[in-house]
Amino acid sequence: MTKGDRAQTVMEILSALYPETPIPLDHSNEFTLLIAVLLSAQCTDERVNKVTPELFAMADNSKGMSKVPVNKIREIIRPCGLSPRKSKNIKDLSILINTKHEGKVPSTFEELEALPGVGHKTASVVMSQAFGVPAFPVDTHIHRLAQRWGFTRGKNVKQTEADLKKIFPVDNWSKLHLQMIFYGREYCTARGCDGTICPMCRELYPNRKTPKKINKA
């Protein structure tokens, strides 16, 4: 099976398994999505969704959040981990959005990545899910699956993203990003599969007998 054949098989199987791709993080607008994605760093979506209702009840826009004391933000988001840094970034980016961007979340990669605490992956999620711009954010699940499925050597997430963008059609990027996350959580988990166990790995590499070594993100 060629790399192109594998890509087509992946798209067909994932589309059958996950025809709908709801955004896992609860949000009501571009700002709350940005904050939720920022909080999800080294934290599960489920935990973020338990924390954000109280946070967004206080403020669901940059103007309101810029007025919330950073200690109050930190207290609410503590279960998400890294709360001192995340709370400061939330406060600082809210002020910046409110003063520099007229209260609107910027809609370019360059402007998003200039915000405190917003890296390329966070910016990619917001661009894709809030503004409909094709993007292929790579998290630990996608980085793992892309290696097991033979789409990248996985030197780092930046290289994995570039390799995936070369293989898959641009119109599929945003949906495939979520489909791969869903599959990685449900079937091809870090410990539950080693490249020889889950249905997709067996379909793509039926003759693979030894575990696939994975480079961590």
Give the residue numbers annotated as catalytic, written as ranges: 121, 139
Residue type (1 letter), 41: A
Q: Where are the beta strands (DSSP E) in 35-171?
A: none
Q: Which residue has the tokens 């939330």?
A: 90
Alpha carbon distance 18, 180 (integer Å): 9
**CB-based contact 150:3 (threshold 8 Å):** yes
Q: State the DSSP code for 46.
A: H
Alpha carbon distance 47, 66 (integer Å): 23
Closest CA to 194 of 216, 215, 217, 212: 212
> How far does CA 64 lie from the centroid of its chain?
26
